[in-house]
Amino acid sequence: MNNTDIKNKIENKFSELTISGEDKEFLTIEIPKNSLKKLLSFLKNDEELKFDYLFALTGIDFGEELGVIYHLESTKTRKTIQITVKTNDRNKPEIETIHDIFPAAYFNEIEAHEFFGIKFKGHPDLKHLFLPENWDKGYPMRKDYTDINMLIR
């Protein structure tokens, strides 16, 4: 199965997404956040595709929007795919948790929440892992974050 075959299979099931990179090493999919879990379940459980290994989940500040990039690999075909989802509210960014589909997402979602402020709805414990529990100085990985200590120097 090549990237064009994978693209066609996904596009036949989902119309609300954008797929590029069929001529590249891996496909890149951008999907609205309300379709994310449906897409991920399909990619993981489809017998031909079997994108059943989440190896990266990264929070991203796109400037106007915040989002998450997910990287999946198929243990069956050894193909890799990238899924991008964006929030539409920078002040209250929310995306559904996927740790129920991919348990490996559990700590990555906590990290994205801590550093970007993205709330993963349905996540059981969005706590601090790296920053102090009483941290109230914003989200250090956002482009608009200012470290007050840098301004004093």
Query: Judging by beta carbons within 10 Å of its beta carbon (0-12, 13-18, 19+), is residue 126 exposed, middle or buried?
Result: middle
What gap in Å lies between CA 93 and CA 81, rounded to an integer?
24
Q: State the total domains in the chain.
A: 1
Per the structure, the complete domain to which residue 54 belongs is given by 3-152
Read off the pTM: 0.92
What CATH code is carried by the domain that includes residue 33?
3.30.460.80
Model confidence band, residue 22 (pLDDT cutoffs 50, 70, 90): confident
Whole-number mean pLDDT of the chain?
Answer: 93
What gap in Å lies between CA 127 and CA 113, rounded to an integer?
8
